[in-house]
């Protein structure tokens, strides 16, 4: 973990339910550099056991208390650590918020090669009197957390990724302070690391290079206008969609908060759903749309945040009125226009 004195540190202990984050955490907390302020909803729930006997209500109350403690910590200037499943984009918003407030961000991500392993472990834990989680939610959260992993690694200053499939956790990937990635096991790197992290990171790097090339083709020097969307402060960006890739959406924002026009790069892993491919077509090049990051209490985008091209929006509104399809952000019928996101 970074130990610089010039910036307080936020340590994010993340991973799907049942991955064994507690094992890693116990070891890390023995370090003198680990933050004294450690926020864990499970620990808070234990203190509420006598006062709140209903397990579901207790866990919900503990989660809310943990969230309040995280908000207070990121508004301060002292190092802190917290544990999270990291299955919603709202959790990654805290990365941007913390960095914007001068914190360094260290990600420690613990997982296994399969959601089924996590499911069995949680079942065993519950049978011994531990915290239980619905099996379907475990699988759903596992997939969402793994999908967000490359985004989280990019947003963190440093990162340590552990595979806890076997008898003891193995460090399988690391992001260093200079930003470069290393894979300590070399040829023995687990397949899931290659497919879920290494390849996506490489693809995302190519995507950024493609966006920079396009910007330079439009006007030399324009790549210097590129900035990442800040998802940590509930901001919205209004402007034209200039280009989309599988990983990113580049939007020309003439009235950026910096006071200068910017090419804002939105990460499709955390941006609201939208008809971005359609919006980048010639017929929509003059269409200004709003892409916002006002996450709900559940850490997800509200359905109303779905970004739609005008022609598609009119067609969808007509179909909704005729009872043929649900509102944007919900699953449309197979014959209707679908988001590429």
For residue 245, give the 3-state DSSP assignment: coil
Q: What is the pLDDT of residue 265?
A: 98
Q: Is the pLDDT of residue 228 over 90?
A: yes
For residue 131, give the 3-state DSSP assignment: coil
Confidence of residue 6 (pLDDT cuts 50, 70, 90): low
Segment (H or E) for 72: helix 55-74
Confidence of residue 324 (pLDDT cuts 50, 70, 90): low
Q: What is the pLDDT of residue 330?
A: 46
**CA–CA gap between residue 189 and residue 193 (Å, rounded):** 7
Give rounded-to-5 percent helix, strand, coil for the chain.
40, 20, 40
What value does the mean pLDDT of the chain take?
88
Q: What is the pLDDT of residue 311?
A: 61
Position with higher pLDDT, 205 vs 7: 205
Least confident of 46-55, 77-86, 128-137: 128-137
Confidence of residue 323 (pLDDT cuts 50, 70, 90): low
For the segment 86-103, what is each residue's pLDDT rounded down to a tens digit? Answer: 999 999 999 999 999 999
For the segment 252-293, what is each residue's pLDDT rounded down to a tens digit? Answer: 999 999 999 999 999 999 999 999 999 988 888 789 999 999
For residue 187, the 8-state DSSP code is G
For the segment 114-168, what is each residue's pLDDT rounded down to a tens digit? Answer: 999 999 998 888 887 777 788 899 999 999 999 999 999 999 999 999 999 998 9
Residue pair 63/41 in contact by the 8 Å Cβ criterion: yes
**What average pLDDT does range 69-82 have in this prediction?**
95
Q: What is the pLDDT of residue 294?
A: 95
Which domains, from first to last, does the chain contain? 9-189 (3.40.50.300), 218-321 (no CATH)
| pTM of the complete model | 0.86
In angstroms, how far is CA 99 from the centroid of its own chain?
15
Q: Is the pLDDT of residue 305 over 80?
A: yes
**CA–CA gap between residue 308 and residue 290 (Å, rounded):** 10
CA-to-CA separations, 89 to 84, 151, 297, in angstroms, rounded: 12, 9, 11
Q: Is the pLDDT of residue 237 over 90?
A: yes
Q: Is the pLDDT of residue 331 over 60?
A: no
Residue pair 258/210 in contact by the 8 Å Cβ criterion: no
**What average pLDDT does range 25-43 have in this prediction?**
91
Q: Could you give the count of Cα atoms lying within 13 Å of 138 in the half-sphere of its Cβ?
A: 20
């Amino acid at each position: 973990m970074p130990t610089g004195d010039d910036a307080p540190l936020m340590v994010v202990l993340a991973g799907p339910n049942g991955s064994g984050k507690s094992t890693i955490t116990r070891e890390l907390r023995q370090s003198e550099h680990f933050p004294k302020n450690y926020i864990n909803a499970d620990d808070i729930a234990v203190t509420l056991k006598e006062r709140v006997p209903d397990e579901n209500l207790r866990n919900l109350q503990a989660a809310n208390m943990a969230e309040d403690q995280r908000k207070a910590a990121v508004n301060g200037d002292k190092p802190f650590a917290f544990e999270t499943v990291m299955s919603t984009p709202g959790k990654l918003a805290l990365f941007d918020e913390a960095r914007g407030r001068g914190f360094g961000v260290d990600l420690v991500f613990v997982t296994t090669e399969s959601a089924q392993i996590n499911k069995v472990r949680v079942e065993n834990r519950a049978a011994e009197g531990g915290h239980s989680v619905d099996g379907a939610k475990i699988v759903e959260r596992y997939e969402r957390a793994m999908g967000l992993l490359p985004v989280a690694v990019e947003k963190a200053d440093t990162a340590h990724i552990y595979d806890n499939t076997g008898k003891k956790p193995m460090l399988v990937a690391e992001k260093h302070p200079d930003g470069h990635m290393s894979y300590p096991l070399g040829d023995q790197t687990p397949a899931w690391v290659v497919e879920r992290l290494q390849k996506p990171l490489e693809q995302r790097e190519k995507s950024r290079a493609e966006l920079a090339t396009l910007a330079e083709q439009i006007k030399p020097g324009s790549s210097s206008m590129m900035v990442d969307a800040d998802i940590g402060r509930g901001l919205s960006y209004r402007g034209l969609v200039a280009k989309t890739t599988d990983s990113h959406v580049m939007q020309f924002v003439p009235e950026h908060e910096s006071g200068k026009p910017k090419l804002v790069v939105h990460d499709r892993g955390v941006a609201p759903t939208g008809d971005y491919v359609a919006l980048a077509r010639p017929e929509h090049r003059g269409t200004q749309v709003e892409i916002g990051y006002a996450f709900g209490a559940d850490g997800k985008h509200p359905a109303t945040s779905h970004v739609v091209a005008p022609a598609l929006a009119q067609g969808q509104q007509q179909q909704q009125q005729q009872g043929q399809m649900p509102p944007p952000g919900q699953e449309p019928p197979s014959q209707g226009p679908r988001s590429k996101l």
